[in-house]
Amino acid sequence: MFAQIEKLGASVIQKFEEVGRLSVFLYHTVLGLFSRPFGFQELLKQIAFIGARSMPIILLSGLFTGMVLALQFYDVLARFGSVDLMGSAVSLSLIQELGPVMTALMVIARVGSSTCAEIAIMRNEQQFDALTCMAINPYRYVMAPRLLAALISIPLLTAIFNLIGIFGGYVVGVFIKGLSGTAYMQTIIDTIIWSDLRMSIVKSFLFAVIIIWIAMGKGFFVHLEKGVSGAESVGRVTTKAVVASAITMLFADYIASSFLI
């Protein structure tokens, strides 16, 4: 009995320690944004990786999400005789909620996992020790460009997801269900207000920080994983990073929604 309470206590302390460690990590990374010389080349490389190369999955997932939303809303709205509101229903759902969340989930799967594994391997191969010994701050050189690249790319990816989703809804609503294209677009223009867009923007910035912070932080502290080392430790932290960023992102989504709606 006491042994189990002790075990529980130890694991709670461990979690708090980890949150503290990751918070200090984020603090140093943010400081790295303002240190010179800033790695512009690394920034461009990361924008290409996080942003440009995520475009195909964002376009595909956005299109299908919009199309499924339109099918479901058509069914529901038809019961109330309000199919004309299809444009507003699809666009509001996408802009306020599904755009930022689905984009974040796609980026976690594609970028979060690989960033975490890459940073963990760099740690295991002593690349951070090497940078420190060369008087190069790893936070400035490796972490800060990734954070800035995520802050630039993820909001743009979210905007693209929203637009392609609305287009997907248009395709189903107008070409399959026979609604008027003009009415579909007009209801969007009439319904969407600044606070809806603000919610999408705020959420996407928030999710960008969460995704890249957890991925980099988990990888950076891979050597502190207990009971594993080498390739196994990289696999374990990568899984943990993906799960932790998805859950933290959804929790932050709830908090942001409750403040912004």
Partner 1 sequence: MTENSQKPSVLIDVKDLNSGYGDRQVLYDINLSVNDGEILVIMGGSGSGKSTLLKNMLGLKEPSDGRVLVHGLDLSNASQSELLKLRRSTGVAFQGGALLSSLSVGDNIKLPLRQHTDLDENTISIMTRLKLELMSLADCEDLMPSELSGGMLKRAGLARAVIMDPKILFFDEPSAGLDPVTSVELDQLILKLRKAMNMTIVVVTHELESAFTIADRIAVLADGELVTTGSVDEIKACTDKRVANLINRSPRDVQIDAEKYLSRLTKGAK
Smallest gap, in angstroms, from Cβ of residue 232 to partner 1? 18
Smallest gap, in angstroms, from Cβ of residue 171 to partner 1? 40
Smallest gap, in angstroms, from Cβ of residue 180 to partner 1? 52
Nearer to partner 1, 59 or 136 (CB): 136
Nearer to partner 1, 42 or 196 (CB): 42
Smallest gap, in angstroms, from Cβ of residue 141 to partner 1? 8
By CB under 8 A, name the binding residues for partner 1: 37, 45, 118, 121-122, 125-127, 129-136, 141
Nearer to partner 1, 7 or 198 (CB): 7
Smallest gap, in angstroms, from Cβ of residue 183 to partner 1? 51
Nearer to partner 1, 224 or 255 (CB): 224
Taking the C-alpha atoms of residue 249 and residue 252, their distance in angstroms, rounded to an integer, is: 5
Nearer to partner 1, 121 or 183 (CB): 121
Nearer to partner 1, 119 or 192 (CB): 119
**Nearest to 183, CA basis, from 68, 93, 89:** 89
SS (H, E, C) the chain: CHHHHHHHHHHHHHHHHHHHHHHHHHHHHHHHHCCCCCCHHHHHHHHHHHCHHHHHHHHHHHHHHHHHHHHHHHHHHHHCCCHHHHHHHHHHHHHHHHHHHHHHHHHHHHHHHHHHHHHHHHHHCCHHHHHHHCCCCHHHHHHHHHHHHHHHHHHHHHHHHHHHHHHHHHHHHHHHCCCCHHHHHHHHHHHCCHHHHHHHHHHHHHHHHHHHHHHHHHHHCHHHCCCCCHHHHHHHHHHHHHHHHHHHHHHHHHHHHHHHC
Smallest gap, in angstroms, from Cβ of residue 45 to partner 1? 8
